[in-house]
Chains A and B, each alone.
Chain A
């Protein structure tokens, strides 16, 4: 499984995704670790087993074991934080000021450059759809020196990986035997 195999599974109607996926796999504005981590964290956040397997197979060899772990950790912890903070941001009232009483200690020592972990968290937030989370993580990575172009690249990757997952999920459902179309 690899990015090539994902591309070959994409149907004709999703040709745009296929081409975007191919070009973003070599997106030059991010360094290797940043790019690989964004792909892996976004794939996990997009929740399709085939996509996750293929993306991890392709990009994990480009990462140290610690960085791979950190990319997975970003998807894991943001799976919690995006839901929780989206709630507090949307509902408002006193909720944003109540202590969350949730452990998120991995963010303190992610085992990788903090800015890269934040960038991966931003990509996951884009997939999970927490507006204020995106806003605040964007602020942090920009303050840490990443450019607008680099942030945009991460979100472009997240967007395409998500769309590929949606599409392959649909194709797999339709191909499943025994279900009346």
Chain B
């Protein structure tokens, strides 16, 4: 599995758009790649299969924090190995997912999950992996849960905050330091 410091793999996937656009067959689909939302931090989280029980709870929880992530110049992508039509149907048929402000990526060919090393060895579906990727495409946080263990999105927000709270002020200069830390 890829980890902190690794480059997040390049990808180009069909996706169901966030919000209302993602509920209408005419407007629901788009393509999202590693070059989409350039300059932003990315939160990419995977779940094993659509239409299962643990998933909507944590997806909804990520959705509730979408505004907080946006405030921090971060965009959130949810993903599974289901196809985009399955994602759309799930959005349409699950009340809690109706207003989801997060795009769902369809890693149907499992190429991204494979490249990340997060496919369950027996089931062949993505584990509950979460990645925080910086604007340069470098993974800065990675976690993975067993298939049945849900996540705490507030913890991901806390991690993002910490990652972004570099001390960028020269006031942080300490006597004896010959040069300032570069602004990361």
List the interface of chain A (C-beta within 8 A of B).
Answer: 77, 81-82, 84-85, 96-97, 99-105, 107-108, 118, 121, 125, 130, 132-133, 135-137, 139-140
For chain B, give the interface size range: 10 to 19
What residues of chain B lie closer than 8 Å to A139, measured between beta carbons? 170, 173, 180
Q: What's the Cα separation between A147 and B164 when bound, in Å?
A: 33
Complex: chain B residue closest to A140, CB-CB: B170
Q: Given A100-B167, A104-B167, are A132 and B161 neighbors across the interface (CB < 8 Å)?
A: no
A-B contact count (CB 8 A): 62
Contacts of B173 in A (CB 8 A): 132, 135-136, 139
Tell me which residues across on chain A come within 8 A of B165, comparing CB atoms.
Answer: 99-104
Closest to B184 in A: A108
Q: Are B171 and A133 in contact (CB under 8 A)?
A: yes
Cβ–Cβ < 8 Å partners of B164 in chain A: 103, 105
The answer to whether the Cβ of B183 comes within 8 Å of any Cβ in the partner chain is yes
> Within the complex, which residue of A96, A108, A135, A137 is in contact with B183, where a contact is CB–CB below 8 Å?
A108
| Chain B nearest Cβ from A127, distance in angstroms | 14
CB<8 Å pairs between A and B, sample of 9: A96-B172, A101-B165, A105-B168, A107-B168, A107-B169, A108-B183, A118-B170, A136-B173, A137-B171
Query: Is A81 touching B161 in the complex (CB atoms < 8 A)?
Result: no
CA distance A162 to B46 in the complex (A): 55
Tell me which of B162, B166, B180, B184 contacts A140 (CB under 8 A): B180
B174 at the interface (CB under 8 A from A): yes
Distance from A131 Cβ to chain B, minimum over Cβ atoms (Å): 10
In addition to A81-B169, A104-B165, A132-B175, 13 A-B residue pairs with Cβ atoms within 8 Å of each other are A100-B167, A103-B164, A104-B169, A105-B164, A105-B166, A105-B168, A108-B168, A121-B169, A132-B171, A133-B169, A136-B170, A136-B173, A139-B170
A-facing residues in B134-184 (Cβ within 8 Å): 161-162, 164-175, 180, 183-184
Q: Could you say which residues of chain A place their CB within 8 Å of the CB of B167?
A: 99-100, 102, 104
Question: Is B168 within 8 A of A136, CB to CB?
Answer: no
Residue of B nearest to A133 (CB): B171
**Are B180 and A136 within 8 A (Cβ)?**
yes
Q: How far is the CA of A97 from the CA of B65 in the complex (A)?
A: 32
Beta-carbon nearest neighbor of B177 in chain A: A136
